[in-house]
């Protein structure tokens, strides 16, 4: 966690609508890195990383969708990867030692990291992924880049990959020989660029919707963010945005049936379990790594946490009906992760309306974390339509795989990382 969470005066949020996405992001980055990086360099890093939009689109009356899939690998993880790569390259530029970034992936993180760090000077990236357990598209996106990106195809599971990475960080010998770091969300830098789009979404909120103008006279319009969650990095970034002063009424921690956090919010007991497979598979996490940060933010007290966060779970059948509903009613195609976010938000807003029909209308935003084409099979099954695959996605299928096959064995990884001739 950052030692101190910086705060903006409320005036900043009132005036944010006059700023661009890049300008808002730079203001936030300055708060965190002031004194560590000269302004010009930080501006270049931030503007370079925020090079695609995160549009907020009206869906229904009081529901908007924040589209986070306009980056190179069509998932929200692109925001963090691009920023981390530039920041790390900046910090190692005067070092004579090459930085080695080790990352375990079950698919999506690996592709975002491979793209974000491609050709980053002074950095080599090693991505460990489980052999035959990622989709063909995911494999092509993470294992065809070459240059400074090496994909290690591990003959084991994702848990084996994660264990090997942890072993590497704990190994004294490797630590001495290599300059090692991680690009998984145990690294706090990954969360900072995710704060950017919460504040940007807020800034865009008033600009387009006529229904919003009607309500503008009221001084209280509760804003709710629904965040489809697995490791809870995205949600934690939202909580940090709120601590910085963003006026958010509630966050919804929306999960699939891997619901350890919603359960914790219900009964105050945290019970990790092995992940179960679902349609929203990027959220199949049984022991989320950012839960410790959530606890820290709320002094380990579930009663305080419950004031800000509502837990909701969504079963696969509900995910499919959400995809169908939204397509039928609004002609909008959700991916299974965004569908979990929508489902939870809709349920919450329906309860809200029933409880207080004439009271103030709440305003809800859900995060759409991936492009529907990345999960075309599920969406095609639900909607009985053909999903158009964008060119930049299908182009990967023609590329040649360049992975190195390794057993799930630490000695083999170590030998790969520090070949004898370099010793």
Ligand X SMILES: *Cc1c(COP(=O)(O)O)cnc(C)c1O
In the complex, the residues that contact ligand X under the rule CB under 6 A are 75, 77, 108, 228-234, 282-283, 337, 369-370
Q: Closest separation between CB of residue 231 and ligand X, Å? A: 3
CA Rg value for the chain = 21
* Nearest CB to ligand X, comparing residues 114 and 413: 114
CB-count exposure of residue 301 (10 Å: 0-12, 13-18, 19+): exposed
* Nearest CB to ligand X, comparing residues 46 and 229: 229
Q: Closest separation between CB of residue 359 and ligand X, Å? A: 31
- CA angle centred on 337, ends 336 and 338, rounded to 5°: 95
* Nearest CB to ligand X, comparing residues 203 and 227: 227
Question: Distance between CA 224 and CA 232 in Å, rounded?
Answer: 17
| Host H or E run for residue 60 | strand 56-60
Please provide the size of the chain in residues: 423
* Nearest CB to ligand X, comparing residues 77 and 361: 77
| Active-site residue flag, 307 | no
- The β-bridge partners of 181 are 101
Q: Closest separation between CB of residue 229 and ligand X, Å? A: 4
3-class DSSP string for 402-414:
CCEEEECCHHHHH
Q: How far is CA 45 from CA 37, 38, 53, 93, 242, in A?
A: 10, 11, 16, 13, 24
Q: Closest separation between CB of residue 355 and ligand X, Å? A: 28
Structure tokens at 370: 């991936």
On whether the CB atoms of residues 375 and 137 are closer than 8 A, the answer is no
Question: Distance between CA 51 and CA 57 in Å, rounded?
Answer: 19
On whether the CB atoms of residues 351 and 51 are closer than 8 A, the answer is no
Helix or strand or coil: residue 310? Answer: strand
Q: Closest separation between CB of residue 42 and ligand X, Å? A: 24
Torsion of CA 369, 372, 378, 380, to 10 degrees: 160
Indicate which residue of 17, 57, 77, 250 is catalytic.
77
Q: Closest separation between CB of residue 176 and ligand X, Å? A: 32
Crossing angle of the two packed helices 410-417 and 158-170, in degrees rounded to 10: 60
On whether the CB atoms of residues 271 and 263 are closer than 8 A, the answer is yes
* Nearest CB to ligand X, comparing residues 62 and 256: 256
Q: What is the DSSP string of 69-110?
A: --STTSBTHHHHHHHHHHHHHHHHTT-SSPEEEEEE-SSHHH
* Nearest CB to ligand X, comparing residues 164 and 279: 279
Q: Closest separation between CB of residue 232 and ligand X, Å? A: 5
Q: Closest separation between CB of residue 68 and ligand X, Å? A: 9
Structure tokens at 31: 């708060």
Which positions ≥6 away from 394 have C-beta within 8 Å?
A: none
The candidate with the shortest Cα–Cα distance to 280, out of 323, 319, 234, is 319
* Nearest CB to ligand X, comparing residues 37 and 101: 101
* Nearest CB to ligand X, comparing residues 288 and 364: 288
Q: Provide the annotated active-site residues.
A: 77
């Amino acid at each position: 966690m950052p030692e101190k969470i910086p705060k903006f005066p409320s005036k900043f949020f009132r005036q944010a609508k006059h700023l661009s996405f890049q300008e808002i992001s730079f203001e936030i980055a300055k708060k965190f890195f002031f004194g560590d990086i000269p302004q010009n360099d930080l501006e270049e890093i931030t503007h370079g990383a925020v090079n695609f939009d995160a549009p907020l689109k009206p869906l229904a009356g009081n529901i908007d969708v924040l589209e986070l899939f306009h980056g190179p690998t069509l998932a929200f993880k692109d925001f963090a990867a691009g920023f981390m790569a530039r920041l790390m390259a900046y910090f190692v530029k005067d070092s004579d030692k090459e930085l080695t970034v080790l990352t375990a992936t079950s698919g999506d993180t690996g592709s975002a990291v491979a793209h974000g760090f491609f050709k980053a000077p002074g950095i080599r990236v090693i991505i460990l992924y489980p052999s035959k357990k990622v989709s063909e598209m995911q494999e092509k996106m993470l294992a065809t880049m070459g240059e400074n990106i090496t994909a290690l195809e591990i003959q084991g599971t994702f848990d084996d990959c994660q264990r090997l990475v942890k072993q590497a960080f704990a190994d004294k010998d490797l630590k001495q020989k290599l300059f090692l770091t991680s690009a998984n969300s145990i690294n706090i830098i990954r969360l900072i660029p995710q704060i950017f789009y919460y504040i940007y979404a807020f800034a865009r909120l008033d600009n387009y919707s006529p229904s919003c103008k009607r309500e503008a006279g009221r001084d209280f319009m509760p804003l709710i963010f629904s965040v489809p969650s697995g490791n809870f990095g995205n949600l934690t970034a939202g909580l940090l945005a709120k601590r910085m002063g963003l006026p958010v009424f509630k966050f919804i921690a929306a999960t699939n049936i891997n619901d350890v956090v919603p359960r914790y919010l219900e009964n105050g007991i945290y019970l990790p379990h092995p992940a179960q497979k679902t349609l929203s598979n990027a959220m199949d996490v049984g022991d989320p790594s950012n839960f410790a940060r959530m606890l820290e933010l709320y002094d380990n007290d579930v009663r305080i946490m419950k004031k800000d966060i509502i837990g909701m779970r969504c079963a696969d059948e509900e995910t499919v009906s959400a995809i169908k509903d939204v397509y039928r009613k609004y002609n909008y195609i959700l991916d299974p992760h965004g569908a979990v976010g929508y489902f939870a938000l809709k349920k919450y807003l329906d309860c809200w309306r029933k409880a207080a029909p004439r009271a103030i209308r709440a305003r809800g935003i859900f995060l759409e974390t991936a492009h529907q084409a990345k999960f075309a099979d599920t969406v095609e099954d639900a909607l009985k339509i053909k999903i158009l695959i964008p060119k930049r996605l299908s182009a990967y299928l023609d590329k040649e795989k360049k992975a190195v096959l390794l057993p799930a064995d630490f000695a083999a990884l170590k030998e790969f990382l520090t070949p004898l001739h370099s010793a």
